Amino acid sequence: MEKPKVVLGVSGGIAAYKACELLRRLTESGHDVRVVPTESALHFVGAATWSALSGHPVSTEVWSDVHEVPHVRIGQQADLVVVAPATADMLAKAAHGLADDLLTNTLLTARCPVVFAPAMHTEMWEHPATQENVATLRRRGAVVIEPAVGRLTGVDTGKGRLPEPAEIFEICRRVLARGVTEPDLAGRHVVISAGGTREPLDPVRFLGNRSSGKQGYALARTAAARGARVTLIAANTALPDPAGVDVVPVGTAVQLREAVLKAASEADAVVMAAAVADFRPATYAAGKIKKKDDQEPEPIVLIRNPDILAEISTDRPRPGQVVVGFAAETDDVLANGRTKLERKGCDLLVVNEVGERKTFGSEENEAVVLGADGSETPVPYGPKEALAETVWDLVTRRLR
Ligand code: CTP
């Protein structure tokens, strides 16, 4: 089988060095990558590096190998174009259709999915000119990944960092797998909860659960690759931030509720993948609870936590919003799932059978997605991202 052809466009920002890592990941996972840097990108990383890592010649302008008509051919043949980092200047050129070098020509001739991973200073990112260019590119079907927040060049911090290359790679992989040039969640805002809540007993102890957050993170990555604006409410996870996703860390069920309700007020869909503790200790000891040799331990009194899924299903923070829940069942999976769906009032319920193979923290999952309309969508045992794609398929159908 022929390797998928990827064009890696690199524009002139300090984050160009991170594109070397993206290039390696793409080539090592079986992609044929052609690097097309801009002239200014070569101030940061030289042509020799791009050429050696990609195994292809590297040029910035349209005047090399003219007999091969590279300014047309490279774009036409690509299965995916990813520009990382994309500077403010590159976004402006792409939005306005300028074509003064090989990369901008390639962007005009490509008919495949295009991903931009912008990186620049916060002021440049927030400038209305850049924001309008980003909106134009998104409207035309490009996936423009939101920059990460963090340390920028120099001493300042803010929004504008290039997301981690491993996470840009994940977006590329998913966009390439879908192969569509119209991201179906573009213009949509989705809120996902992930991980497991922890309910503190004292400053060092808590009641928690084994949820790793991997299913919720897979939902966030796939939604971002389908063009959505994504808010991920992450309860006690130890996973890298997905590219383009706004991650809000929380601890307890009460904090999770607050964060979900805040984000859900302007969301098109809410997916509750987090394992939320149904109960919390009635009291919190401000100091560490000490054992006393001559006394039995005090029993732990529990009180109920709010049921966030039921609450947002009943009082939708935004009209027309799609609400999705998750449930783990051991017996009578479908019947119990159907009862739970009705009790909670959500539109879709992803029901997992909890068994030997299907443990917390694994990379795979198997489920049936029940719809309030009576539908049943089985998802065979496979990667969590396949289940995530099915969830978004069902959500987009309901949003239309
Ligand atoms: N959920 C919630 N708030 C809670 C508890 C759960 O929003 N206090 C959400 C979870 O995020 C998940 C779904 O509800 O989407 C799970 O419902 P739950 O009734 O807790 O089901 P199970 O975990 O399967 O447990 P049980 O059958 O014991 O009720």
Please indicate, yes or no, if residue 183 is contained in any of the structural domains: no
The one catalytic residue among 209, 305, 336, 365: 209
pLDDT at 49 over 90: yes
Residue nearest to atom 16 of ligand 1 (CA): 327
Q: Which residue has the higher pLDDT, 195 or 150?
A: 195
pLDDT at 86 over 70: yes
User: What is the atom index within ligand 1 of the atom nearest the CA of 349?
Assistant: 15
Per the annotation, does 308 bind a ligand?
Answer: yes
Pair (304, 369) in one structural domain: yes
pLDDT 10s digits, 383-396: 999 999 999 999 99
Residues with CB under 6 A from ligand 1: 253, 272, 274, 276, 278, 305, 307-309, 325-328
pLDDT at 356 over 70: no
pLDDT at 102 over 60: yes
Q: What is the whole-number distance in angstroms between the Cα of residue 328 and the centre of ligand 1? A: 8
Please indicate, yes or no, if residue 379 is contained in any of the structural domains: yes
pLDDT 10s digits, 287-299: 999 988 888 988 9
CA distances (Å), origin 348, targets 4, 202, 255, 327, 338: 35, 37, 24, 11, 10
pLDDT at 163 over 70: yes
Per the annotation, does 309 bind a ligand?
Answer: yes
- The mean pLDDT of 309-332, rounded to a whole number, is 95
Instruction: Give the number of other Cβ atoms within 10 Å of residue 20's Cβ.
Output: 17
Per the annotation, does 233 bind a ligand?
Answer: no
Please indicate, yes or no, if residue 150 is contained in any of the structural domains: yes
Please indicate, yes or no, if residue 325 is contained in any of the structural domains: yes
pLDDT 10s digits, 55-82: 999 999 888 888 888 788 999 999 999 9
User: What is the atom index within ligand 1 of the atom nearest the CA of 310?
Assistant: 7
Q: What is the whole-number distance in angstroms between the Cα of residue 312 and the centre of ligand 1? A: 13
Q: What is the whole-number distance in angstroms between the Cα of residue 340 and the centre of ligand 1? A: 9
Q: Which of 209, 326, 330, 336 for mutating ligand 1's site (highest number of atoms within 8 Å of CB)? A: 326
187-196, 289-298, 347-356: range with highest mean pLDDT:
187-196
Pair (79, 217) in one structural domain: no
Pair (94, 125) in one structural domain: yes
Quick one: CA dihedral 193, 388, 180, 75, positive or negative?
positive
User: What is the atom index within ligand 1 of the atom nearest the CA of 312?
Assistant: 7
Pair (167, 197) in one structural domain: no
Give the distance, in angstroms, between the CA of residue 114 and the centroid of all CA atoms in the same chain. 17
Residue with tokens 């300028």: 98
Q: What is the whole-number distance in angstroms between the Cα of residue 311 and the centre of ligand 1? A: 12
Q: Which of 192, 276, 326 for mutating ligand 1's site (highest number of atoms within 8 Å of CB)? A: 276
Predicted TM-score of the model (pTM): 0.95
pLDDT at 159 over 90: yes
Question: Which pLDDT band holds residue 193 (cuts at 50, 70, 90)?
Answer: very high
How large a percentage of the chain has pLDDT more than 90?
88
Q: What is the whole-number distance in angstroms between the Cα of residue 198 and the centre of ligand 1? A: 14
- Domain end, chosen from 178, 206, 233, is at 178
Q: Are 325 and 309 in contact (CB under 8 A)?
A: yes
The pLDDT value recorded for residue 364 is 85
User: What is the atom index within ligand 1 of the atom nearest the CA of 324?
Assistant: 15
Pair (144, 204) in one structural domain: no
> Domain count of the chain?
2
Please indicate, yes or no, if residue 142 is contained in any of the structural domains: yes
- Domain end, chosen from 118, 148, 178, is at 178
3-state secondary structure of 323: strand
The CATH number of the domain where 108 resides is what? 3.40.50.1950
Q: What is the whole-number distance in angstroms between the Cα of residue 397 and the centre of ligand 1? A: 24
- Tell me what the pLDDT averaged over the chain comes to: 95
The CATH number of the domain where 354 resides is what? 3.40.50.10300
pLDDT at 116 over 60: yes
The pLDDT value recorded for residue 67 is 81
Q: How does strand 279-281 pair with strand 302-304?
A: antiparallel
Pair (148, 204) in one structural domain: no
pLDDT 10s digits, 257-268: 999 999 999 999
Pair (31, 172) in one structural domain: yes
Pair of tokens at residue 252: 């307890």
Pair (233, 367) in one structural domain: yes
209 catalytic residue (yes or no): yes
User: What is the atom index within ligand 1 of the atom nearest the CA of 193?
Assistant: 11
Please indicate, yes or no, if residue 184 is contained in any of the structural domains: no
DSSP state of 42: G
Nearest partner of 253 among 280, 224, 214, judged by Cα: 280
Domain extent, residue 121, equals 5-178
The pLDDT value recorded for residue 262 is 98
The pLDDT value recorded for residue 292 is 87
Pair (121, 223) in one structural domain: no
Pair (164, 201) in one structural domain: no
Q: Are 387 and 350 in contact (CB under 8 A)?
A: yes
Mention every residue, 6+ apart, whose C-beta is less than 8 A from residue 332: none
Strands of the chain (E only): list them.
Answer: 5-10, 32-37, 80-86, 114-118, 143-144, 148-151, 157-161, 189-195, 199-200, 206-207, 229-235, 245-250, 269-272, 279-281, 302-304, 322-329, 348-353, 364-371, 376-383
Query: What is the dihedral angle through the alpha carbons of 23, 29, 30, 34, rounded to the nearest 10 degrees?
Result: -10
Pair (156, 44) in one structural domain: yes
- The mean pLDDT of 201-216, rounded to a whole number, is 96
Q: Inter-axis angle of helices 102-109 and 88-96, to 10 degrees?
A: 40
CA distances (Å), origin 4, targets 68, 111, 115: 20, 14, 15
Please indicate, yes or no, if residue 104 is contained in any of the structural domains: yes
- Domain end, chosen from 117, 143, 178, is at 178
- In angstroms, rounded to a whole number, what is the distance separating the alpha carbons of residues 113 and 240? 25
Mention every residue, 6+ apart, whose C-beta is less than 8 A from residue 330: 353, 354, 355
Q: Which of 215, 324, 340 for mutating ligand 1's site (highest number of atoms within 8 Å of CB)? A: 340
pLDDT at 359 over 60: no
- The mean pLDDT of 356-379, rounded to a whole number, is 85
Pair (228, 161) in one structural domain: no
Please indicate, yes or no, if residue 394 is contained in any of the structural domains: yes
How large a percentage of the chain has pLDDT more than 70?
98
